[in-house]
A and B are shown apart, each in its own frame.
Chain A
Amino acid sequence: MAKEHKRPDGRGLTELRPMTAKVGVIPNADGSAMFAFGNTVAIAAVYGPRQLHPQHMQDPASGVLRVNYDLLSFSVYDRKKPGPSRRSQEISKVTEWALSPVIDLAAFPSTVIDVQIYIIQADAGTRTAGINAASMALAHAGIPMRDLICSVAVGKQDKALVVDLTKEEEDFEEGEGATDFAVAKVANSDEFTLLQLDGKIQPEIVKEVTRIGAEACKKIYEVQKKALKEVIEK
């Protein structure tokens, strides 16, 4: 029975790790933010709209959102060689797709908005923490946006559904094993902008997983909102 599942850190099944968020962490950037799920810490900086080189990449009808996600070498136990990997390139792209739907890029033709996401410390959920940080950083950069994007991983541990897995939970091997389903959604609507999973999961359960993810996103949204408002109301 799912109810009997005990999480290694004692959290409830739908309980997120303690979240911290701070906006304006990189004074040089047009917008910036930090977002952490427990030991997973992401920072994001936004530069632009600015000039896009080379010129042939420019789109005269719209601005371009360009996301770069990467891990710092010492954010993981086995040192990551500095520089982009296939994994980081894929995450950069899915993050771009996760964020784009709320951004009014048509307002900035022929330009680029650069989003730089770096993971300072990794304990699973780095792409979701990165998306949460980037969403705040884009807002902080004054970019016209329809809404914020919130992101979380929902996991399956054998038959139990849990939110915001740690690395230890990602490596769970009992029963049906671990499934990790990363979602992102538009905060105030039911549109999902990131769907990525590895593991084993039945179609009926996916319906439940996305609903659990949406509930968790509400809590993330409150944290993002508070951090953004603090910048103005300090």
Chain B
Amino acid sequence: MRRQTNEEQEFNEESEISAAGVSEDPHAKRKAVIPGEIIVSGEDFLPGEGARREGNDIVSARFGLAEQAGRIVKVLAVTGAFIPRRNNVVIGRVTNITFRGWVVDIDSAADGFLPIEESPRFVNKNAMDQYLAIGDVIAAKIWSVGGKGIDLSLRGKGFGKLEGGFIFRVIPNRVPRIIGREGSMISLIKDKTGCGITVGQNGWIWINGPTIEAQVRARKAIEFVADKVFVEGLTEKVEEWFEKN
């Protein structure tokens, strides 16, 4: 099962993350809502993620931005901890090594586990830290979220051990804005800074670039985007930011 799906999937953070169910539709109407608040009334509307129907009303099931696109009304979370889902791209840090694989902190309620068979190259079972040592950082995909934990995979392009640069954290629910519509935002930041950037859906972001200045600039640009929850025309604002910074 898992082999098939993984072989088929290329590592493409933009398309994958937009496929995770978060749209950045520029024409959608948005407003701040709190849990239990009526967003719209009427039989014409359908509750999407983060919303539910109560009689004639569509009611918010969480705090966030209500978005009405066509008939679908949903509430996008803007804050909160990372909730792992299958096929999420995550960045994690090795915290332990067992005889079966690596325990990886992915900043969620359960540790990630990377089985030894998932290593893209041969690993000597007696010297597993030669491939991944404690404190090393990987980009991985979640291939299952179960009662016993979260299993990670490195199969696919772009996954594996990360070297150089640094990682930092943003609020995970801001990741879709950082990626942008079809990856437009992150591409803009990469172009302007010349840095390689991998965005984990757990909110951990890896930046590696030609100079310290470029890397710091890329981080600041991402933090600028992450801070703007409720801004229209964010792309223009980021372009302006790059003019000034």
Interface residues of A (CB under 8 A from B): 30-31, 47-52, 60, 102, 104, 107-112, 139-148, 186-188, 224-225, 228-229, 231-234
Q: B63-99 interface mask toward A, CB cutoff 8 Å, 1 = contact, 0 = none?
A: 1110000000000011111010000000000000000
Interface residues of B (CB under 8 A from A): 32, 34-37, 50, 61-65, 77-81, 83, 109-111, 147, 173, 229-230
Knowing A108-B109, A110-B110, A233-B230 touch, does A139 contact B173 (C-beta < 8 A)? no
A65 to chain B, nearest CB (A): 13
Contact B64 A142 (CB under 8 A): yes
Contact B109 A110 (CB under 8 A): yes
Most interface-central of B50, B109, B147 (chain A CB within 10 A): B109
Which of A111, A112, A147 lies in contact with B35, CB distance below 8 A?
A147
B contact patch SS: loop
List the 6 shortest-distance A-B pairs measured between CB atoms, nearest first.
A142-B80, A147-B36, A145-B35, A111-B109, A232-B32, A139-B63
Contact B34 A139 (CB under 8 A): yes
A-B contact pairs, 23 of them (CB 8 A): A31-B79, A52-B109, A110-B109, A111-B110, A139-B62, A140-B79, A141-B79, A142-B77, A142-B81, A143-B80, A144-B35, A145-B63, A146-B61, A224-B34, A225-B34, A228-B32, A228-B63, A229-B34, A231-B79, A232-B64, A232-B65, A232-B78, A233-B230
A141 to B77, CA, bound (A): 9
A109 to B149, CA, bound (A): 11
Which of B34, B109, B110, B230 lies in contact with A148, CB distance below 8 A?
B34
A148 surroundings in chain B (CB, below 8 A): 34-36
A50 to B202, CA, bound (A): 13
A79 to B215, CA, bound (A): 49
